Structure 1
């Protein structure tokens, strides 16, 4: 059957693919719990029946606050097929943000994963007049559990009513409200329709090189449109989805299920690469020499055999001796990793692809459902350092000031209850203004060059894109995060968060006693070593763009401590305020 609305994916799956027991899988009490398509449909239907019995009507808002797990999908499909609107919310935001979103969206019911999150919502529930009930996925004493809703739905089965409601749901109907975490100000509710997201599914379904035999590992938040759209697309093409327990168990989960593909953000790929390099540094003698020779071969990798015959021989040897072990260490079956959410360092794309783990970079925003452009495995549709050509059906142009504009079926309806902001984002001709800067490469690939609002001008009139500098300096194995400042100052300067794990390893090799992170960054020898990295990477930039001064921070940035958004972007204003003394010292 044709998929025109998101809930059409379920009958499409049942009609087109062989029965299997792992359409969805999640881990409970150390065991993988798997669901086939009939169970998926039955559970979703029973939740729909229960919601209808509770009085949920078309257009009502129902929220979920949860980690990735099959229950998220069941609730998602149940909400959508009765015409209600799913409001997925990050499980890592503050109480004030929950209060704002739940009130702004006028949410009627909330599905929550755990006891910890339940406490947060119960605390603010009296402040949300629209809220009628809360259900949990985990068993929590005295809390309404999902199983109660399933029993209620089974008792009040209403297949004809659901069928009738489905028949009234149009492709242009609102299906979800996604509140963007934002790096500044209050979250905005992005309104997406069935057609917005379905258009993205259909435009990207050809990318995975496998079908119903494939397995995907999912760890990025389903409440973000990036992972959510991809899981819909995986279901559309019949790929099984396994949900990682948490970010700390990804390595173990990969070994257990041996996935064929997954989506990621550059930060995780950087950590994987850094750990591999750290293991290489511990080798001795000829083994260490061979390891780093192979890494350097991988870092020179070019697509389509452009390095020539002799490089091809070197690559074969490097793969046999070293690089093949990288793939084996990641389960041995990876055919594809899709990277998005931030710029991917070119060297990572090169070296992982050399190790026969192709990384495809894509680009988009919540407001674009999300994909605007993405690389593919097809010849000519992939280039290191670029995010691929625009997807079919989406038009992209570069404005006179360098801003990326796009138009197509993926563009949001607007920001919920904020017509003025909608008018600012989508012009009269229907072009969505992304706020990102970019250029087209001669092959038709889109390349992101920075964020329009983040570009600053020094007191000498030089414009600097901090993202470009940050991405380059973050290539250093000694540096985890760089934050560049310099607006109206004489020079650019940066806060540096070291890669403490690498620093600890380096100190071990140099026989320097490692005490605490805070004490180590104050040692002159450590400061000198990090400055050596700054000097090296400064060579890639003109004199007026170079980092003239740094302050080294003693703690990594995290979502919980407030410096990062849920999708791992820098909260620049928060960082500037939190570290205002350090920033002031940069320019004294």
Structure 2
């Protein structure tokens, strides 16, 4: 970055300077708080934001999605509010309550958003359930568990014909009505969505709206199931509104220009729903619904959308950036349109490997003359979602920031880690209809025990932030008694094995040495194989000498850093079958579920550790 750009950036700070207050206890526990106070008063409920923008900027575009003809269908704030009132009027006649909520089986869509907002406008909880539970599962076991717990009064599906097997599988578990989205075919026994948008009863809706309190249940969101059985997390209006107030205090840049997002992250997850959707609504921004996803089959849709719409802020998971970086590098039109208005890039779900961090900085500088700011955050479905936020230029990837205003972090020594626990207005009151599980989730001081670990970037300078240090339950010991820190090792491995490794699962439980199950980036692997035809079978690509050599080089580099046997893999195996969403190996956020992969692919782990390794097992011994 040249000096003029550096001065310009520093003269117009986008974020509030971080300030951390620390209380140290005799037992080694530390309590961390933000030095930025959270006011006692802020929005009562999410609906206040919709009411405000519908009154102040009724013509501004709020939501957009592609229609059947490929053109953008747009809904303004004024239109959204009118439609919300009509839908809410219909919902008032359905005998709904927390015991009979609204459930959505649809992917992100305008109707989905309006139904969610309408339910919240009258104090009725909604719950978006991952479409994978309906469309990818053969036995619908997770979906049955979801519905049996919630007993919904309304189930929305779009297009309903895609969801018919799932709807039939849960028919005996509820007595609600099934609403078919506007893009559906006519199906007997369902109500068309258009019927919900009949006559408005403004007085009745606003009467219900006035009765909403900060403790009103706004949503149920299911945990991903990456650890244990999915649970329905109670999300209150207070949780969501306090989170956005904290965001306002840390990100003054949001007040300068209404944010524009191109967004695929599912509303069945707290990141896409509570963080991103609510941020757009809070600031009167515009959200373009991206029908693409970070998969080989769907990334082209995201690229096409990003060539048309220039976001001001971009949120995504590391897997998506891994796919986007090569495309940004080779396509100047895409690159220039992507970075044209972009203020910063936000990554979440896992640490961003260093090579992707550097590539995004380089590409932004090439396009705009300045390095893009890279930020992140940390939290959970149970924390609404933010507990920490990196509202500053981090010294490196993986920094999750500092406590957000109003939130306290309790750092408790655990083995050779610091377990982190959370308390604040953003923390959930409990799991729906699971009081025993709820009681076990909090310690004796009322801190939510999230199960994650963190460490300081620099313990002497806490304002530099915390680094995510993996899940306490994911780490393990080798037979030598040495701890293996899975989270940091996984990220280091992806970086060292670039461009081959798209993701890695760390093995070595009850073993003498670490192994890697490597999920490869197939297009990048093909670039290493000029001797093969472009359509060569995947198995041939993964056994090609240049690919194997690149993996060995990366393994050797990790070993030569000299950190000991817990810091490098002695064995690695390239896995041709990609991680399965249906089997829970990939979560809704797009990151790897370490435990699910190890359980499902136990045979590969055994194969990896055979006394005499097969030729497909790559070993570090003798690598150069």
Fold-level match, TM-score > 0.5? Answer: yes
State the Cα deviation string for residues 296-328 of structure 1 (Å, max 9, x = none). xxxxxxxxxxxxxxxxxxxxxxxxxxxx98841
Alignment partners' CA distance in 1, 2:335 and 2:278 = 26
Are 1:425 and 1:432, in contact at CA under 8 Å, matched by a contact in 2?
yes
Are 2:452 and 2:472, in contact at CA under 8 Å, matched by a contact in 1?
yes
SS of the residue corresponding to residue 172 of structure 1 reads coil
State the Cα deviation string for residues 80-115 of structure 1 (Å, max 9, x = none). 122211111111123211111011111111111224
More helix by percentage: 1
Q: 1:543 to 1:192 in 2, by over 3 A?
A: same
Are 1:25 and 1:32, in contact at CA under 8 Å, matched by a contact in 2?
yes
Alignment partners' CA distance in 1, 2:178 and 2:161 = 17
Are 1:3 and 1:12, in contact at CA under 8 Å, matched by a contact in 2?
no
Q: Which residue of 2 aligns with 1:342?
A: 350
Are 1:90 and 1:223, in contact at CA under 8 Å, matched by a contact in 2?
yes
Q: Could you state the TM-score of these two structures normalised by the residue count of structure 2?
A: 0.81
Q: Which residue of 2 aligns with 1:429?
A: 445
User: Alignment partner for residue 189 of structure 1, among 232, 235, 245?
Assistant: 232
Alignment partners' CA distance in 2, 1:126 and 1:66 = 17
Alignment partners' CA distance in 2, 1:584 and 1:426 = 37
Alignment partners' CA distance in 1, 2:358 and 2:547 = 30
Q: Which residue of 1 aligns with 2:6?
A: none
Q: Which residue of 2 aligns with 1:368?
A: 383
Q: Which residue of 2 aligns with 1:462?
A: 482
Are 2:525 and 2:541, in contact at CA under 8 Å, matched by a contact in 1?
no
Q: 1:523 to 1:407 in 2, by over 3 A?
A: same
State the Cα deviation string for residues 484-541 of structure 1 (Å, max 9, x = none). 1111111111111221101111112x56776200233234554333222222233346
Q: Which residue of 2 aligns with 1:22?
A: 61
Alignment partners' CA distance in 2, 1:525 and 1:331 = 34
Q: Which residue of 2 aligns with 1:267?
A: 319
Alignment partners' CA distance in 2, 1:471 and 1:58 = 41
Of 559-568 and 171-180, the range deviating more from structure 2: 559-568
Q: Which residue of 1 aligns with 2:29?
A: none
Q: Which residue of 2 aligns with 1:163?
A: 206
State the Cα deviation string for residues 382-411 of structure 1 (Å, max 9, x = none). 754311111111111310111011111011
Alignment partners' CA distance in 2, 1:541 and 1:99 = 50
Alignment partners' CA distance in 2, 1:184 and 1:213 = 37
SS of the residue corresponding to residue 401 of structure 2 reads coil
Alignment partners' CA distance in 1, 2:411 and 2:535 = 50
Q: Could you state the TM-score of these two structures normalised by the residue count of structure 1?
A: 0.86
Q: Which residue of 2 aligns with 1:352?
A: 360
Alignment partners' CA distance in 2, 1:497 and 1:505 = 16
Q: Which residue of 1 aligns with 2:144?
A: 99
Of 202-211 and 97-106, the range deviating more from structure 2: 202-211
Alignment partners' CA distance in 1, 2:488 and 2:61 = 42
Q: 1:116 to 1:428 in 2, by over 3 A?
A: farther
Greater RCO (CA < 8 Å, at least 6 residues apart): 2
Alignment partners' CA distance in 1, 2:115 and 2:561 = 50
SS of the residue corresponding to residue 387 of structure 1 reads strand
State the Cα deviation string for residues 208-234 of structure 1 (Å, max 9, x = none). 635454421111111211111221122
User: Alignment partner for residue 89 of structure 1, among 96, 121, 129?
Assistant: 129
Q: 1:256 to 1:525 in 2, by over 3 A?
A: closer
* Within-5 A mapping of 1:5-404: 5-15=45-55, 17-29=56-68, 30-57=70-97, 60-93=100-133, 94=137, 95-142=140-187, 143-151=190-198, 154=199, 157-205=200-248, 206-207=250-251, 209-210=253-254, 211-229=256-274, 230-247=276-293, 248=298, 249-276=301-328, 279=330, 327-330=335-338, 332-354=340-362, 355=364, 356-377=371-392, 384-401=397-414, 402-404=418-420
Report the alpha carbon displacement of residue 79 of structure 1 after superposing the two structures with TM: 0.6
Q: Which residue of 2 aligns with 1:471?
A: 491
Are 1:212 and 1:240, in contact at CA under 8 Å, matched by a contact in 2?
no
Q: Which runs of 5+ in 1 are unaligned?
A: 281-323
Q: Which residue of 2 aligns with 1:447?
A: 467
Q: 1:409 to 1:22 in 2, by over 3 A?
A: same
How many residues align structurally?
536
Q: 1:463 to 1:134 in 2, by over 3 A?
A: same
Are 1:254 and 1:331, in contact at CA under 8 Å, matched by a contact in 2?
no
Determine whether 1:580 maps to 2:624. Answer: no
Q: 1:214 to 1:57 in 2, by over 3 A?
A: closer
Q: 1:524 to 1:172 in 2, by over 3 A?
A: same
Report the alpha carbon displacement of residue 126 of structure 1 after superposing the two structures with TM: 2.5
SS of the residue corresponding to residue 154 of structure 2 reads strand
Are 2:54 and 2:81, in contact at CA under 8 Å, matched by a contact in 1?
no
Alignment partners' CA distance in 1, 2:203 and 2:58 = 26
Are 1:176 and 1:191, in contact at CA under 8 Å, matched by a contact in 2?
yes
Q: Which runs of 5+ in 2 are unaligned?
A: 1-40, 365-370, 611-624
Q: Which residue of 1 aligns with 2:554?
A: 533
Are 2:328 and 2:335, in contact at CA under 8 Å, matched by a contact in 1?
no
Q: What is the root-mean-square deviation in Å for CA atoms of aligned residues? A: 2.4
Q: Which residue of 2 aligns with 1:310?
A: none
